[in-house]
Chain A
Amino acid sequence: MRAALLFFSSLLALPAAAEKPTPIPAPVQAMLAKNCLECHDADTEKGDVNLELDHIDWTNVHDIDVWLRAFDAIDQGLMPPPKKERPAPAEKETVLAFLDANLLKHIPIGGTLPRRLNQAEFEHTIRALCHLPKFELPVGFPGDTELHGFDNLGEGLVLSPSHLDAYTQVAASIADEIFPPTKPQPKPKQWTAGPDDLVLSFSAATVHGDALRLVSRSPDIMRSCTWPSKIEIQDSGTYRITVEASKFLSEKGHTFDGPMNLEVRARAVTATDRSRIDAFRLLTEIEVNAESPETTTFEADLYEGETLIFWWANAEMTHSQTELAAHYKAWFEKEPRFLAAWQKAVFPKYPADDIRSPRTTVLRGRNGWDKVSKYWADPKLDLSQATMESNMTKAFLKLANGNDGTFNLADALCHFYHERGPALELHSLTIEGPSKLVPSPADLARATLREKITGTRKEGQSNEDFARSMLQSFLPRAFRRPVDDQTVETYLTLAQRHWDAGHSLDEGLHLLLRNILTPIPLSLPAPGQDGRLRSGHPPIVLPHPGATGCEADRSRTAQPPQPRLGLPPRGRAPFAHQDLRSLHPKLRRPVARYRHAAGHHAGSEV
């Protein structure tokens, strides 16, 4: 290291033009000929790279660039391409040693060009640094400009205004997530919902006068439940909930002894209607005993974005693929006319003993039930197939049991219950509150996340000290290198000024986080001894947490590649460790390259 630095200080005095060409030794030429020249000879010059040379001309800027890239590509295993023959390790080492020594000696640069992170790096940086493992960049995030097929070379990473804009906005949205702006104190309010304000889905619910009826205990909410369509909790808190419900029974329907158990749960308004009931938090279970409306009032915590959902847990009607056939069977055994009505509705050739082309999709909903009940009531209904032993009965039960027909038949059968009961009736719903605020699970997760980033605040610790300790631990992770006190203080100044202007602690931290995550160098370091920017200046080259240094500084840095110093190899650190499959499809092409690089560095550090 010291040697390298000394070397540089002496080199700086040498004008480039005075340098003589360096002959390329025979073993190096041999490896290049064997592994590279198929594509990179003077004729083909694929990617504008010609390696068919017997010396390196240090006055030719283009050539220097080519050799720099060649070093990177060979060192990282990016070249030769995966399907081509690979050089033997010894051959590779020979070439790299030659290039490394001579590039270090001759190229008039001492630092990696500052660059921003590419999309994939930025995304993974945010994931790891901010403990947001599923974070994804917005779809419209501007693409990387690829240079020579590589998207992580400084020259290629142009920072256009739209890029900076996009980075800035991502940074702001992350900061919003961790240090959210304070919400105004909510005013308690009251929502009411009648039967017409509750959702009707498939055959789950129907409205009859001032009541909405539920009939099925299917765990699929869209087939059994209802929920208010115009209520969405804005503030997580404790609410007072009043539900008015009753039993619905009729002479034409079955009896229902004992209480009807009405479960009241909390659902996210945005949850898919394909959810199952057990996905939602149970708030209370109400026993409905009377046929006239009874009022139940209870208190429960509801979180932002939630509404209620109602499920009749012990309904007779089921959509279960394993139970529906038995349900029908028990009924058919008692009522052959009921059986015949269903047979006629399902089998087009009825009463002929022909079970081909059963039709159940058209029976969906009330329409299907209207047909069945019409046939059921028809005194002339033919009962010739209505025995438990007939082929048609067996075929029907097969349709009802575990086939596509299950839902169609059940959705039609639901309307028997809607019309005749037993059904559970909902009359009204009132939600009032919040009487007090409570943190939602999302709020709690946010608090944990926040503490991971800021560290725990010590008792009596001033804003300044708290922010300093956060910066001391966060900045090195963000910049992937030790961070000096000066840099910490510069950031702190920014926050301090913000607090001085009357902003809150969180607003100051928000500002800090925004800045750290944006590829804007808040304070540029003094140039190195070589007069150049030091490699990978942090805020420009953003961070890979846990790494000890910048991944960009291979051959062209003031420091020789790390392995030669006996330090752990670094390579393209983030890609050596992440799950490559997790990368977005849009990044596939670069990934193919990285995958190779990752393999090459398998087992390496950080």
Chain B
Amino acid sequence: MRSLSKHAPSPMTSISSLHHSKVDRRLFLRSALATIALPSLEAFAAPAKAAAKPKNFVSIGTWLGWHQNAFFPRQVGRDYEMPTTLAPLAKQRDAFTIFSGLDHRAPNGHGAWSNFLCGATPETYSLDQRIADEIGQKTRFPSIELTAGAGEVSKAMSFTRQGVGLPMIQRPSVLYKQLFLSKADRARTEYLLQSGRSSLDLVLEDALRLQKSLPQRDSDKLDEYFESFRSVEKRMGRQLESLNNPVPEPNYKLPNYDPITPNLQIEAETILYDLMTLALETDSTRVMTLFLHGLGQVFSFEGEALSAGYHGLSHHGNDPKMIQDLVTIETAHIHCFAGFLKQLKEKKNPEGRSLLDDTIILLGTGMGDASRHSNANLPTLVAGGGFKHGSHIAIDSKKPDAPLLGDLYITLMQRLGMEADQFSNASRNMNQLFS
């Protein structure tokens, strides 16, 4: 999250965490010491336009890919038979589009996984951050990066313009805390604001006295400083006021533990989707990513453990039993995802438009086939955003003019109102095929 995230519920704020404070480093920006999730404010609302455009972007990516044969429909067009992995989405088939044959022509292997959102060159400015830099600035959190089932903390899905990988929030309790301050958090925030304000008062008094006697150049410089101080003071004032506003009761109960051990990934996913819905509903952010990691965790479904760990299964070597177990996991991911889409569809704004129409959701991966470590033909699904959905769009990547995955991303960015005509190695769009 682009915010000063703390490990919670009992902050693991230790010396070592500060020493290695990359984890918490995204901060700040405008998230500020303290603001709380409020229902959409008018000031934050998108400018009214004739045709409402989606305003949010969410991306979900699996570290170990999606088994292609169970993800891509056999038929092209609208009347496809729902593939196994996507079965939980059967009732929502008009809410999404499946793409096959798209990729970034990126290098292969786990190491290049971040091509998913970065394009042909992994670990460069990712799609979500580009979108956040453009449309995320008006909300408390320009973007929020989440992960479920993290196996190795060093992996990143989102990268800044400078190619810095963004840390991800793994604990639902941390996300929750940032979205909905508890009473104790509010008291702490109020205390920090109040005490910070008292020292500002002292400064401003002194400055006014001094400023009168300074030559112009210094005086201008000081003006700049004090404008900042005043603005911070005003901001603190607003924050203090907002602290007294009634907090929306999210009416959501977190478990009394954080499901961060890898084998609780599905549970973590379910909770994170719920919180993501709340974040979008309260307009706390407009850009979110969710990384679905996978290492050795062995899942149990209905009391039965699968035959091997997630990563082991992804190296199925076309063994039918292993593929079956792998697809069971991937179907569980899609089951959670279907719940997310359903929630978004049910939430309506005052104009009757659903949060799903307001949100473009990109589900995919940077790994085309984990068994072969190939990053070609990336399984991709787009939901929401007011597109005409319901089809399987198959691209023949062997054709010289075949569109790239980046071309689809350009279409998505344009849909969000961005003037984008380029993404990584792509410089066209897919508006003809998908609108």
Contacts and interface: CB of A to CB of B under 8 A. Distances in A.
Interface of A: 108-109, 111, 113-115, 132-142, 154-155, 158-166, 168-170, 172-174, 176-177, 180-181, 183, 196, 199-204, 206-207, 222-223, 227, 229-232, 234-235, 269-270, 272-274, 304-305, 359, 361-362, 364-368, 370, 408, 411, 440, 442, 445-446, 449, 490, 494, 497-498, 503, 507, 511, 514-515, 519-524, 526-527, 531-533, 540, 584-586
Contact of A234 (B10, B262, B312): B10
B18 A201 contact: no
B312 to A, nearest CB: 4
Nearest to A220: B296
A529 B164 CA distance: 47
Interface in B286-337: 295-298, 300, 303, 305, 307-309, 312-313, 315-319, 321-322, 325
5 contacts: A132-B15, A169-B4, A200-B298, A272-B153, A408-B312
Contacts of B188: 181
Contacts of B247: none
Contacts of A176: 13
Interface string B1-44: 01010010110111111111110111111101100000000000
Given A172-B33, A176-B13, A449-B15, A138 B199 contact: no
Interface string B397-409: 0000000000000
A514 B7 CA distance: 21
For the complex of A and B, list the 6 residue pairs with the smallest distance between their C-beta atoms, beginning with the closest: A365-B308, A442-B14, A364-B312, A138-B25, A362-B317, A134-B19
Q: With a 10 A CB-CB cut-off, give which of A174, A234, A514, A533 has the most chain B CB atoms.
A: A533
Contacts of B317: 359, 361-362
Given A274-B151, A305-B7, A584-B164, 12 more contacts: A109-B217, A134-B21, A139-B2, A139-B25, A166-B28, A177-B15, A229-B264, A234-B10, A305-B10, A367-B322, A514-B196, A532-B218
Given A362-B317, A367-B322, A140 B29 contact: yes
Contacts of A223: 296
B200 interface: yes
Q: With a 10 A CB-CB cut-off, give which of A133, A158, A269 has the most chain B CB atoms.
A: A269
Contact of A141 (B27, B33, B166): B27
B215 A135 contact: no
Given A165-B30, A165-B32, A367-B319, A227 B261 contact: yes
Interface stretch (B84-92, B221-229, B375-383): B221-229
Nearest to A442: B14
A509 B358 CA distance: 47
Given A132-B18, A199-B263, A164 B162 contact: no
Contacts of A141: 25, 27-28
Contacts of B15: 132, 177, 442, 445-446, 449
A444 B162 CA distance: 37
A522 B203 contact: yes
Q: With a 10 A CB-CB cut-off, give which of A133, A142, A180, A229 has the most chain B CB atoms.
A: A229
Interface string B253-274: 0010111111110000000000
Given A159-B225, A227-B261, A235-B10, A200 B305 contact: yes
B195 interface: yes
A523 B206 contact: yes
B148 to A, nearest CB: 14
A165 B31 CA distance: 9
A440 B14 contact: yes
Given A164-B229, A202-B309, A362-B315, A173 B164 contact: no
Contacts of B192: 172
A162 B166 CA distance: 20
B298 A165 contact: no
B164 A586 contact: yes
B25 A137 contact: yes
Given A113-B218, A367-B307, A527 B232 contact: no
A498 B28 contact: no
Interface in B167-205: 167, 188, 192, 195-196, 198-200, 202-203
A411 B308 contact: yes
B232 A364 contact: no
Q: With a 10 A CB-CB cut-off, give which of B18, B217, B221, B257 has the most chain A CB atoms.
A: B18
B27 A199 contact: no
Given A136-B22, A442-B15, A586-B162, A366 B308 contact: yes
B316 A362 contact: yes
B198 A497 contact: yes
- A interface SS class: loop
Nearest to B166: A139
B222 A114 contact: yes
A503 B194 CA distance: 13
Contacts of A196: 300, 303
Interface string B225-239: 101110110010000
Contacts of A511: 195, 199
Contacts of B24: 138, 173
A246 to B, nearest CB: 20
A226 B298 CA distance: 12
A359 to B, nearest CB: 6
A273 B296 contact: yes
A532 B206 contact: no
A230 B27 contact: no
Contacts of B14: 304-305, 440, 442, 445-446
Nearest to B312: A364
B215 A532 contact: yes
B25 A222 contact: no
Contacts of A159: 224-225, 228
Given A139-B25, A234-B9, A269-B261, A114 B164 contact: no
A531 B232 contact: no
B160 interface: yes
Contacts of B309: 201-203, 364-365
B45 interface: no
Nearest to A498: B195
Nearest to B154: A272
B210 interface: yes
B418 interface: no
Contact of B225 (A114, A440, A497): A114
Contacts of B160: 139
B228 A161 contact: yes
Contacts of A142: 29
Contacts of B46: none
Contacts of A163: 228
A533 B218 contact: yes
Q: With a 10 A CB-CB cut-off, give which of B7, B166, B257 has the most chain A CB atoms.
A: B257
Given A161-B228, A169-B28, A229-B261, A527 B12 contact: no
A91 B162 CA distance: 40
A446 B18 CA distance: 11
Contacts of A132: 15, 18-19
Contacts of A494: 198-199, 202
A425 to B, nearest CB: 16
